[in-house]
Each structure stands twice: as C-alpha cells, then as structure tokens.
Structure 1
C-alpha cells in the first residue's frame, strides 16, 4: 500500500514551482454563510430548512449543484427562483462569518516565490469579493472561478493551459484542497495532490481517494513542499 505523506514529516519534502489552491473549505471557512444562505432560500420558498451538515455535504460543485441538491424533491420546479433568492442573499451576506483558516496568510507569504493560483467551483465574482475583503488577492497570479473557463474541476483541460502558460511541468505542480474534485483534478492532470483534511470536505472520502499528501492544517505545507 502506498504511504500517504503528512505534514508531520520533514523528510522527503517535494520541490514545486506552482501551487493551486481550492477556495471554500481550503483557504476560507465559508460554510456557515453558505448554510445560512441556502436555508434563507428554502425558507422563502416555504420549504423545510436543512441541517448544517447536510448542506455542507452539498458544497464543492458550484452554486447550481448546491441549490439543486438542497431543493431535493422540489427540483427543478423551484430551481430558477431559488437561484435568484440565493444569489441576492449571498451577495449581501457572504462575509458575515467567512474568514481565513488559521495560517493562510503565513503560508502564502512563505511560498511567495511560487506561482499560486486559486481554482474554485465558486463563481468568480463571489470569490474575488471575498479575496479582496480578506486581503488575499495580491498573493495570487490568477483566480479562476467556475464561470471563468469552459471547463471546471476535475477536468484536466482546466489545468493544461496554465502549465503551458507558466512553463511548469505537472510533476512540479501541486493541488491543495479539501474536496474530492481537488484530488481528482491533480490526478487527471498528472500533478501532485494534497488533501486538506481540516476543511469542509469529507475526511473519509478524501483519504479513500488516495492523495499523494495530506495535511490537517495549512501550516503543515511548509514541511511537505519547498
């Protein structure tokens, strides 16, 4: 069985030139604001609200899938109205409680000489509004939202142009994220996968996907990559 390397080990650090980060559940803890926005939407539609853990489990494939899954049997009848309600509410409340995970700014500064890109299944405008408010934007060479490209995670065609653009080989690039799509994106593109176990994603699902590396906290990245 292949050994998964963790942030607790200093040996066997991997040299990388590019770091690709997921957003929700990796750089920012945005779960509560997404949950409250979904339940506001369901309440406005006179539909039963959902437990937090259910909604958290729906996050990762973009807002359309989030709403579709949250509606359940009420999809697709209420989908368009739900999208409208959610978008209006989340636009006003996306920063009510959303904040950085511990160590994010230190990590980004530590790896300041690496190419760094955010790739998220969140809409670009939402992502940049949060990165601007939390003073993250300047750390990244690019921010790519679900509506920024034709392809979305985990399609390798999302990554290949970036590798060519920056002249980085796949084995010198790592994807760090809390979701199965992040691990699959790395695997599909021949890149290094690093699962963040302290985010919103399912720990069991991440470990079962057999990532190359795992970390419980983001500061552990300094002991995995150089």
Structure 2
C-alpha cells in the first residue's frame, strides 16, 4: 500500500458543521450591522481561514477581520461548536483504516483547541494519531501551512501521505507540499471546485475514501 499517513480535513469531511459555523459568522456580522438571514449564503466560510473570508466576502481590513474572528468565537465557543454532527459511516471508515495500521491525522484550518473539543465530543479522538489545526493567535491558518507543519513535526515523507478534504483549499495545500489528495463530494465544495484543482482522486462517499486509499 502506497500510503502510510492519512490526513483528514475536519469541517465538511469528518463533521457536518454548517449550522455552527454559519451561525457564528452570522453573529459576527451582526456586530457590524450586517444582517444575513440565509445561512446558505455563509456556507462559503467553511474551509478557508476566517480572517481571509471576512476580508474577501465583506471587504473587511486586517483589524476589522481580526475583530470579526473574535466575535465569531464568542458564539462558536458557547453554542456553535456543538451545532455539529458526524457524517454517516465516518466511524466505520476510521476503524477500517486503523485496522490497516495506517496513521490518521487531522489537518484543519480550525484552531487545534476547537478541533480537540469537537472530536472529543464525538468520541473520535482515539482514532487519530495527531490533531493539528491553526493557532488561536491566527498563525498557521492556511491548509498549506498546516500540512507543512504536520510533515515536519512527524517527519513524514509526502510520498507516503494523502490529504482528504472537501474544498479546493485542501487540494491546494496538498499540492503545495507535493502530496496526493482526495477530494470528497459530500462536503461543502462542488465537484467543479475540486476538479479545478486536479486532485489525485475524487471520492463520492465516505466509504469510497477507503477504496481510493487501499487501491494503491
């Protein structure tokens, strides 16, 4: 088998987190007098670093974006973090990958602190050999930076690893680190978005990930 290390995105790949994230964004925007009623319009915030999204979609400058992130966390820490659920069959997938003696690592732009809380809440922490996210001070927030940190800290050869995620940022981060990638279509990124970044594989379901990992 080619891969020894399986890196997973969290939001849109392991958990269905739209409600908590979009309500947190909605809460933050309201602090600036911006009212967005439809949570669907805020789904684009799932995946990329928050401060970049506030800047890109609402034109916030650096300081305003950082302030918005703090408001986001006000809601997320109290409510949003639990407005979340695990995708069907994820635990079956993780069990089978562990039975194959593979090393599983969370690589997310979400802060490590929150990622740990979420995975503990769903009793998924024991399946992962490491949980790596961004820092609370806003550093190491792009997917490329997170993956680079994982590879360096755990001395992983990129040829032996694959990044699994639902957004283009996962594919881009993998490519920046010379790593294979699997784009999943059940998350928050469209098939077109994923294909535009030329992932190594496309998985159409949770258990299809197992097929792509083990066919090597």
**TM-score in same-fold range (> 0.5):** yes
Q: Which runs of 4+ in 1 moved over 6 A?
A: none
For 1:117-196, list aligned pairs within 5 A: 117-147=105-135, 150=140, 152-155=142-145, 157-162=148-153, 164=155, 168-196=156-184
Aligned counterparts of 1:185 and 1:38: Cα–Cα separation in 2: 24
Secondary structure of the structure 2 residue equivalent to 1:214:
strand
Secondary structure of the structure 2 residue equivalent to 1:120:
strand
* Larger RCO: 1 or 2 (CA < 8 Å, sep 6+): 1
Highest CA radius of gyration, 1 or 2?
1
2:189 match: 201
Shift of 1:52: 2.7
The size of the alignment, in residue pairs, is 209
Q: Which has the higher helix share?
A: 2
Aligned counterparts of 1:78 and 1:50: Cα–Cα separation in 2: 21
* Residues 219 and 89 (structure 1), Cα distance of their counterparts in 2 relative to 1, 3 Å cut: same
Secondary structure of the structure 2 residue equivalent to 1:224:
helix
Shift of 1:205: 1.1
Shift of 1:75: 4.5
Aligned counterparts of 1:134 and 1:174: Cα–Cα separation in 2: 24
The question of whether the paired residues in 2 share the 8 Å contact of 1:21 and 1:27 is answered with yes
Among 79, 85, 88, the residue aligned to 2:71: 85
- TM-score, structure 1 as length reference: 0.82
For 1:101-116, list aligned pairs within 5 A: 101-112=87-98, 113-116=101-104
* Residues 175 and 81 (structure 1), Cα distance of their counterparts in 2 relative to 1, 3 Å cut: closer
The question of whether the paired residues in 2 share the 8 Å contact of 1:159 and 1:189 is answered with no
Question: What is the RMSD of the two structures over their aligned residues, measured on CA atoms?
Answer: 2.3
* Residues 161 and 79 (structure 1), Cα distance of their counterparts in 2 relative to 1, 3 Å cut: closer
Q: Answer with 209-218 or 183-192: which moved more.
A: 183-192
1:25 match: 12
Shift of 1:203: 2.3
Secondary structure of the structure 2 residue equivalent to 1:138:
helix
* Residues 83 and 157 (structure 1), Cα distance of their counterparts in 2 relative to 1, 3 Å cut: closer
Verify: 1:218 aligned to 2:209, yes or no.
no
Which runs of 5 or more residues in structure 2 are unaligned?
none
Aligned counterparts of 1:45 and 1:184: Cα–Cα separation in 2: 32
Shift of 1:57: 1.4
- TM-score, structure 2 as length reference: 0.85
Aligned counterparts of 1:82 and 1:193: Cα–Cα separation in 2: 31
